[in-house]
Each structure stands twice: as C-alpha cells, then as structure tokens.
Amino acid sequence: MSNDAIVLLRNDHKEIRKVFKEFQAAGENATATKQRLVDKMIELLTVHTYIENEVMYPQVREALPDLEDDVLESYEEHHVADVLVVELAAMDATDERFTAKTTVLIENVTHHMDEEEQEWFPQVRSGLGRKRLQELGEEMLAAKERAPRRPSQPSALKKTVDALIS
C-alpha cells in the first residue's frame, strides 16, 4: 500500500463517499440505518479533518505559499463540516432536521473533496514531489492513529470549540 499523502487522502475520500451514498440510498423511515451511517460519517470526517488540519495543510502552506488561499479556504470548509458534525453528534435520527442537516453536510463535504481532487491535489503533487508526499503520508498515518474519532474527544475539543465560536 502506498503511503503517499495524496493517495491516503483519496482513499479516505472514497470511503467517505461510500457512506454518503449508503445514507442517500437509505429509505425515508430507515432511522436506525441512518443513525449508524451518520455515526460512521462523524468518525470518518473527524479523523480525516484532523489529519489534514494537523499535518497536510500546515506543511503545504509552508512549502507552497502560492496555495495559501486554497489552504485557507479548506480550513473554512472544514469549519463548516465541523459545525455540522458537532450538531449531528448531538441529534438523533428521529429528529426532524436530522436528514436535512446530513444532506447539507454531504453536499458541503462532497464539494470540498471534488475541489481537492480536481484542483488542489495536482498542484500539491507537482509542488512537493514523490519523496515529500511519502514523508507526509507517514506523518499522516501516525496522526491517524492518535486522531479523535468523535468531536467530543479531548483532542477534538479545541477544533470543536473553534468551530462553534469562530
């Protein structure tokens, strides 16, 4: 398996999209299934945004100053996702706005992933090169091991508070 940072992020995106599709295919009254899928989304997104925010974005920002605006936009897109994740974590699938809020999360995150894959990743790959992306991938794998799985975990609390008060 490749430890290339972009390959790792693409694999995360693929797994996240799979859960999104399952949610969208669930029936209107499939509350237990929807709850399980949203719980999985929360875990996947909490880990994914953690490794991007803690490893990928700061290093890309430092190494490739021309991508500063893209990195800042990505932080803001994560902020929106973090707020929705925090709200969904406190909701139940029977809540009136649960499906609507999840749909907004899916739309926002899908837009973010599409932008990264189509525009940002090629620029990062070109700017950093294979060796640096392998090193970043190793750092991301280590960060993934210690990453929070829920927005309420201590290592996610700062990000959660930032999402709510920013």
Per residue in 48-91, pLDDT (tens digit) is: 999 999 899 999 999 999 999 999 899 889 889 989 999 999 99
Residue 156 has what pLDDT? Answer: 54
Report the distance separating Cα 47 and Cα 85, nearest Å: 12
Instruction: Single out the residue of 82, 60, 101 nearest to residue 152, CA to CA.
Output: 82
Residue 163 has what pLDDT? Answer: 44
Per residue in 125-157, pLDDT (tens digit) is: 999 999 999 999 999 999 999 888 887 655 555
Question: In which element (H, E) is residue 26 found?
Answer: none
Report the distance separating Cα 70 and Cα 66, nearest Å: 9
Residue 79 has what pLDDT? Answer: 87
Contact 70/98 with Cβ under 8 angstroms?
Answer: no
Domain span holding position 121: 5-165
The number of distinct structural domains making up the chain is: 1
Per residue in 28-51, pLDDT (tens digit) is: 889 999 999 999 999 999 999 999
Residue 28 has what pLDDT? Answer: 85
Q: Which residue has the tokens 């490794």?
A: 51
Confidence band of 2 (pLDDT split at 50, 70, 90): confident
Report the distance separating Cα 104 and Cα 100, nearest Å: 6
Contact 138/46 with Cβ under 8 angstroms?
Answer: no
